[in-house]
A = this chain, B = another copy of it.
Amino acid sequence: METTLTPHLLNELAAIVGLNYIFTDEPTRKDYGHDETEDYNFPPSVVLKPGTTQEVSDILKFANANKIPVVAIGGQTGLSGGALSIYGGIGLSMERFNKIEIDEKNLQGIVEPAVITQIFREAAAAKGLFYPPDPSSQGSCTIGGNVAENAGGARALKYGVTKDYVLNLEVVLANGEIIWTGANTLKNSTGYNLTQLMVGSEGTLGVITKIVMKLLPANSHNILMLVPFFKAGEACEAVAQIFRAGIVPSALEFMERDAIDWTLRFVDGVSLDIKEAVEAHLLIEVDGNYPDMLFAEAEKIMGVLEQFEIDEILFADTEDQKNALWKMRRAVGEAVKSNSVYKEEDTVVPRYELPVLLAGIKAAGKKYGFHSVCYGHAGDGNLHVNIIKGDMTDENWNTEVPKGIREIFELTVSLKGTLSGEHGIGYVQKNYMDIAFNETQLQLMKSIKNVFDPNNILNPGKILPDNLV
C-alpha cells in the first residue's frame, strides 16, 4: 500500500491548502516522519498544514476519492507510533489549529487540536480553572494527540484521563463530512456515544478539529512528598493500602531506583541524597482548598507508610522544590531513553496487582535476558516498562525481547489488566492485540473502523493486528 503521489494529485492538494502549506522536500517529510517511539521514521509522501476545518474536509474528500492514506500529526510525542506515516501518503499536520477559548460561565474550554497541553492548562488556570490531565510530555504534546491516544498523566488517579474531560468533538470523517459527536453537556444519554468512540481511536476514525473540554474549579493547595522504599515490592503494595485507608491522592507515582538515578544525572538543578539500599520511591501528592485537610490527609498517609520499610520522607516545602520534584518525575522517560535503545510498554492492571506485575516483569527479564526500568502512575495501576537494549545483541533484541513482552502482556491480561493504559496501541503494540482481545472483539473493532473509513485511508496499519483478515 506504499503511496505515490503524482504531480497532478499534488497540484490538487496545493489548491486546497495553498502553496505555503504543502511540503514535499525530504527534510520536512523526515521531520514529520517520527514521534517519540523508539527510533522509527516513516516520512509521509507530502506534508500538509491545513488552516481550517473546511480545508481538512476538502483534503479528506480528495484523499478518500483517491485512496491516499492520511495521518493526522500533533506534537509528535507519541510513544506507540500512532502518528507514523507507515504507508506514506498525506501527513496532516494540525499545527495551525491552535485557538483556545475558555468559557468561564460553563466551566468549559473550546480548544483546537494543536494547542499544547500545558498552554491549555495555563489558559484555564489564568481564569481560576483546572484542566487535570497532565501527561509527562505536557510541555510539547498537543490536546488533539491527547484525545487521539486518550492520554493520562500523574493526576489521573483522582481526576481521570483525557476521555473524562471530552464533552464534544468536531470531527472530519473520512469522506470529508464534518460532524459534532455529541453536545456541550456534562450528561448525555442521546444515542450512541460517538464522542467516546472517537477518543482513543488514534486518528483511525476521523480527524479531530475542535474539542469541548470540561474544566473544574482550581485547587489552591497541595502537599507533595517523596518516599524512599527499601523494597520496591513494598512501594507497590503501599499504593493500594493508601486508597484502602480512604485517601484519594492527586498523584501517586512509582519510580524504580534506576529511573531516579538516571534522571538525576540527566536533569539539571535537582539533587537528592539517596541511601544505597533504597530500591524505589513513591511521589505522593494530595490537593484541595483547605490546608488543614491536606495536613490531615498527609498524616493518614504517613500512618499507612509506617508498616513498610522506608527511609525518611522528603516533604517539598516550597513551590521551587515541588517543581524540581515534578521536573525530575517528568524527565524519567527521556532520561531512561537517553541511556540506550529501548522499548517502552505501558502496562496497566487493577491497582492491587501492581506487586505481582512488577515481579512478573523482572522474571520475564531474567528469562529472556533483558534489563528493565519501571516507573509510572502507580495509583492507576499503570506501570511504564522500559526495556533497555544496553549491550544485548541485535539478535536477542529482535527475537528474545518480543517473547518477553508477550509474556508480560499475557500476565497483565491474566490480572484483568490490559496492554496500554495511556499511550495507545498504534504501530508498535498492534501485533500484541490478540492477547487482550479474541477474534470476535477484534472483528467488532474492524467493522467499526469500516463504518467510519471504508477505504482505510485514516492512519492505516494502526491498532488492529496485521494478521486480522
Binding site for B on A (CB under 8 A): 103-108, 128, 149-152, 156-157, 160-161, 163-164, 168, 173, 177, 179-194, 196-197, 199-201, 205, 216-218, 240, 243-248, 288-290, 292-293, 296, 346, 348-353, 377, 380-382, 413, 416-425, 433, 436-438, 440-442, 444-445, 447-449, 451-452, 463-464
Smallest CB separation, A383 vs chain B (Å):
11
Q: Are B188 and A420 in contact (CB under 8 A)?
A: yes
Contact flag A217-B382 (CB < 8 Å), given A193-B163, A448-B192:
no
Contact flag A201-B192 (CB < 8 Å), given A107-B351, A216-B248, A217-B246:
yes
Closest to A110 in B: B416
Of the A-B pairs whose beta carbons lie under 8 Å apart in the complex, a sample of 27, sorted by A's number, is A103-B350, A105-B240, A105-B350, A105-B352, A106-B350, A107-B351, A151-B189, A156-B186, A163-B196, A173-B444, A179-B438, A179-B441, A182-B418, A183-B413, A188-B421, A189-B200, A190-B420, A191-B436, A191-B441, A191-B463, A192-B200, A193-B197, A197-B448, A216-B248, A217-B244, A217-B246, A290-B293
Complex CA–CA separation, A106 to B292 (angstroms): 28
Closest to A80 in B: B189
Inter-chain contacts of A191 with B (CB < 8 A): 425, 433, 436-437, 441-442, 445, 463-464
Q: Are A156 and B382 in contact (CB under 8 A)?
A: no
Contact flag A183-B107 (CB < 8 Å), given A419-B190, A420-B188, A463-B191:
no
Q: Are A290 and B289 in contact (CB under 8 A)?
A: no
Smallest CB separation, A124 vs chain B (Å):
13
Inter-chain contacts of A437 with B (CB < 8 A): 191
Q: Are A106 and B185 in contact (CB under 8 A)?
A: no
Complex CA–CA separation, A222 to B255 (angstroms): 37
Q: Are B189 and A424 in contact (CB under 8 A)?
A: yes
Contact flag A197-B200 (CB < 8 Å), given A183-B348, A240-B106:
no
Complex CA–CA separation, A188 to B436 (angstroms): 11
Smallest CB separation, A274 vs chain B (Å):
29
Closest to A296 in B: B290
- Top 10 nearest A-B pairs (CB, nearest first) are A196-B196, A183-B418, A187-B421, A184-B416, A105-B352, A106-B350, A217-B246, A447-B451, A150-B189, A189-B420
Q: Are B200 and A105 in contact (CB under 8 A)?
A: no
Q: Are B194 and A445 in contact (CB under 8 A)?
A: yes
Q: Are A106 and B352 in contact (CB under 8 A)?
A: yes
